[in-house]
Amino acid sequence: MLNSIRNKTKGWVAYTIIALIIVPFALFGIAEYSTNTSNIVIATVDGDEIAQIDFLPRFNQQKRLAQQRLGDNYSPEFNNQLKQSTVQTMINEHLLDKLAEKLGHATTDLELQNIVHANEEFQVDGIFSLEKYQQLLRLNGYSPVEYETLKLNELTQRQIKQNLADSAFVGDLALKNLQNLNSQQRQFNYIRLNTKDYFGQVSVKDKQIEDFYNAEKASFFEPEKISLDFIELSLTEIAKKIQVNDDDLRNFYEQEKQRFATEEERRAQHILLENEDEAKAILAQLQADGDFIKLAKEHSKDTGSKGYGGDLGFFARGVMVAEFEKTVFAMEENQLSDLVKSEFGYHIIKLNEIKPGTQKSFAEVKAELSDLYTQEKAKIQLYDLTEQLANLAYEASLEEAANQMNLELKSTELFDRNDTKLPKKMLAAAFSDEVFNKNENSPVLELSKDKFAVVRLLQKIPQRQKDFSEVKTQIKKRLSAAAAKEFISKITTNIASLLQKNDKKAAEKIIKKHKLKWQKIGWVKRNSDKAEGIIIEKIFTLPKPTAGKATYNSRDFDENYSVVVELLAVKESTPDEKAAVALRRTLLAIEADELFQAILITLRRQAELKIFTNRL
């Protein structure tokens, strides 16, 4: 049956076949992953074993995704953390499965099937597509067994969370208070002082700079630096040397002709019926100018297409079951078929449109052919040359390898271990034992999918202590910044203190002396963008003004600036019923999640857990 649907299944076939194969995937597949009793055990939960054969597919899937996202930043340390995270997740799932079993929770095959079918990611024109389902799983590194096992676990955990959500509650008074706080508005102004504006008003003496150098001398050094010789193979450079002629391209065109062709496709709609007599009756109505769409919606047993009047969309040969395909591809446009019997029942088919196959000519695709041919030949050469380079790098000097392969011997500038300009793999190889300590050629490094290199140490300069004269300016800037920060912090603290004491005259004197201005902001909510978020956050932590008297405070924000804030008034907004519903829903979700995490922590504390890290 699977051979008859191949890779393009959609519509009624997909729904019928999926109904038959999704349950075996969900049941047989899980057993297949969990019954190998001879496998290495990597953890136990109350004596129940978690096997390495179960762990590795989970870990490798996460590893593939992480490597795609992180690239060269995927490190051995991260790899170890990912192993620990994966096994901890599997332990949690095991504990939750046991809890679900005790609570009587169960996920049926139909629930799993409905979840998979309802996922819009797996649908084409609103209809579940087996082809897209399998394709997306492959692209994300899942097998159907792995994905459906994951969904079963999620459904079980969701039942537990749902029960917790049902038991969570938020009191009306608490909700009202939170809503009032959340919708509250505040009116404020502020003064901001930047450190960079006050460097000229502070002074740093030479003695201070020298004392700082002597105290922090160990932090002022020139790091160890090296440079490399290297040779590289590049697909781009190889492709430039490949000669292309028309004969080669014509032969290549014949080999790749299908690449530039499209298959004939046909668009049909059908009505699927189980009973032959009923099918004959419906056919008679259609032959008497009955409404195909209406009859399909009323009578078709194909739940995947009946809602669309039986429309199956466009499809090519090799998609439908043999009897259906043979009939469709023998029909004319707008023709109505007789009854077509297949293993699924009786079909009445109407062919709506034929989209002929096309074949682009050699002239139309010549430029594209040239690029494809060049890339293909370059990849073959790159593979061969990479093997040759690997052998030469192991047996000969870098100069000999460069000469024999007609490659340019290049050199890098000096760099240290924290360099960000070199490719990460080249940097790692540079400080490896074989290159850095033994002065050997590196192995062939894959810098990207189309570039490879071999490196060798050229020059090594050891770490050295920097003289005072080299760092004097640097230290002066650092000390000046610290002094300026302390200076503005005192100003803002002083202004806020005077204003809070209602000594406005003294405060204004300082403001005028330093040519400061109030930034008048006005009314804001918590999510306002009228000022930096950190200032807004500070405003909503201040006590409310009393008896018409503003509240003042000062705050230092990192090493760059300090502020004085003036809170003038606070007001409550009119309660919003929709917002209240959303807030209650959010709070219930938070509470349910906290309950879920608390239960998980309790389960772990009560369980006897063992993890054999050396087996991961």
Map out the domains of the chain as residue ranges.
2-168+607-615, 185-218+470-571, 225-245+364-465, 264-356
Given a cut of 70, is residue 534 above it in pLDDT? yes
Q: Mention every residue, 6+ apart, whose C-beta is less than 8 A from residue 550.
A: 499, 566, 567, 568
Burial class (CB in 10 A: 0-12, 13-18, 19+), 401: buried
CATH architecture of the region 225-245+364-465: Roll (3.10)
Q: Mention every residue, 6+ apart, whose C-beta is less than 8 A from residue 162.
A: none
Neighbours of 613 (CB within 10 A): 11
Given a cut of 80, is residue 425 above it in pLDDT? yes
CA angle 567, 570, 574 (to 5 degrees): 155
Sheet (strand 561-571) strand order: 519-524, 185-194, 561-571, 551-557
**Token match 């349950």: residue?**
23
The answer to whether domain 2-168+607-615 and domain 264-356 are alike in fold is no
Quick one: pLDDT at residue 106?
Answer: 63
Q: How many helices (H) and strands (E) does the chain have?
A: 21, 21
Quick one: pLDDT at residue 135?
Answer: 72
For residue 459, report the phi and psi dihedrals to the nearest 5 degrees. Answer: -145, 145
Rounded to whole angstroms, how far apart are CA atoms 256 and 268? 30
Which is higher by pLDDT, 22 or 363? 363
For residue 391, report the phi and psi dihedrals to the nearest 5 degrees. Answer: -65, -45
Q: Is the domain covering 2-168+607-615 a CATH 2.60.40 domain? A: no
Rounded to whole angstroms, how far apart are CA atoms 550 and 321? 80
- pLDDT tens digit sequence for 214-268: 999 988 999 999 999 999 999 999 999 999 999 989 999 988 888 888 888 999 9
Query: At 447, is the secondary structure helix, strand, or coil?
Result: strand
Mean pLDDT of 537-566: 90
- Tell which residue, 313, 322, 315, has the closest CA to residue 347: 322
Given a cut of 50, is residue 26 above it in pLDDT? no
Q: Is the domain covering 264-356 a CATH 3.40.30.10 domain? A: no
Rounded to whole angstroms, how far apart are CA atoms 272 and 103? 42
- pLDDT tens digit sequence for 82-114: 999 999 989 988 888 888 777 776 666 677 777
- The amino acid occupying position 3 is N
Q: CB–CB of 351/310 below 8 Å?
A: no
- pLDDT tens digit sequence for 455-501: 999 999 999 999 999 999 999 999 999 999 999 999 999 999 999 99
Band the pLDDT of 4: cuts 50, 70, 90.
very low
Helix ranges, 1-75 (H): 2-5, 11-34, 52-70
- pLDDT tens digit sequence for 125-182: 888 888 778 777 766 656 777 777 777 777 776 776 666 555 555 555 555 655 555 6
